[in-house]
Amino acid sequence: MAVPAGIPIHPDAPGWFRRALEVPFEDGTVEVDGAAIHFLAWGEAGKRGLVFVHGGGAHAHWWTHVAARFSDSFRVVAIDLSGHGDSDRREAYSLEQWTDEVTAVAAAGRIADGPVVIGHSMGGFVTIATASRHGEGLSGVIVCDSPVSKPSPEINSFHLKEAFGRPRIYPTVDEALERFRTVPRQEHYLDYVMDHVGRRSLAATEGGFQWKFDYRIFEQFASGLRSVAYPYLSSVKCRLALLRSECGLLTENIGRSMYEAMGKVTPVIELPEAGHHSMLDQPLVLLTAIRSLLADWDHSEPKFPVD
């Protein structure tokens, strides 16, 4: 299927964006530890593949306008992690369980050989842990503006539960879209991307519409997510690249620290003018960076830390 008739495309959307949304995709589910995990898939089954992992509070369709553009050459899958999008909710969530969901979706999406996993923000933390726990089965991972660091009082004082607010029901889609915000906020967004992602983020409920994610995720991780993936940095078992948004959360110092922790073999690439959510403000820059890495990896030998 392509864009359903009930989900309009913003009138200012350019041709490249419209063409991406018109690429046919499949909806699929796979059961992981008792929860139905939803995913999207583009391209021909059985090809080498890519798996896109969204950030906290987001969902698979945050990636649609980027992921679909790889469908000519790859089998492309985008996951709804449990507690997000159209996947089931759980009583409790863990980084490790999310990594199992990523590998299960790659298999259910009929990707040949080891996929490349691409994760943004919290999805980047999941991606790093996946590279450590399941790296032998991956061709590589790309982490987008995911600031991994040791625990600190400053980071622990930032409460995700407060940042994401409390559950609220909106009487209409338009009213909900007026309140659609990212965490953190950034100076620039593309209106046509925000409109599409926002519309895909809502579920009908009694009395109106509500955001799809489970707020309990952010209660569980209220002390901060940045340090959760830190223990996995030194045990990544496949090639890895970091994409750092110029105006994002992965600062030069944190990028340098991650580079050191991973044995000084990981490229750290800056996305100019990009905010933390680069798919919302600089998607073509993000797309080009991913394409460049994949092309390089096709013709280069991976480097790993020296024991």
> pLDDT value at position 158?
41
How many CB atoms are located within 10 Å of the residue 16 CB?
12
Q: Where are the domains of the chain?
A: 28-150+228-297
Instruction: Give pLDDT tens digits for 215-243.
Output: 888 777 755 667 788 899 999 999 999 99
Residues contacting 285, CB < 8 A, separation 6+: 271, 272, 273, 274, 278
Q: At what angle do helices 122-133 and 95-108 cross, to 10 degrees?
A: 80
Q: Is 301 left (phi over 0), alpha (psi -120 to 50) or beta?
A: beta
Domain range 28-150+228-297, CATH class = alpha beta
Instruction: Give pLDDT tens digits for 116-167.
Output: 999 999 999 999 999 999 999 999 999 999 999 765 443 343 445 555 567 7
- Enter the pTM of the model: 0.94
Going by C-alpha positions, the residue among 165, 187, 71, 182 that lies closest to residue 121 is: 182
Handedness of CA 177, 182, 183, 184 (dihedral sign): negative
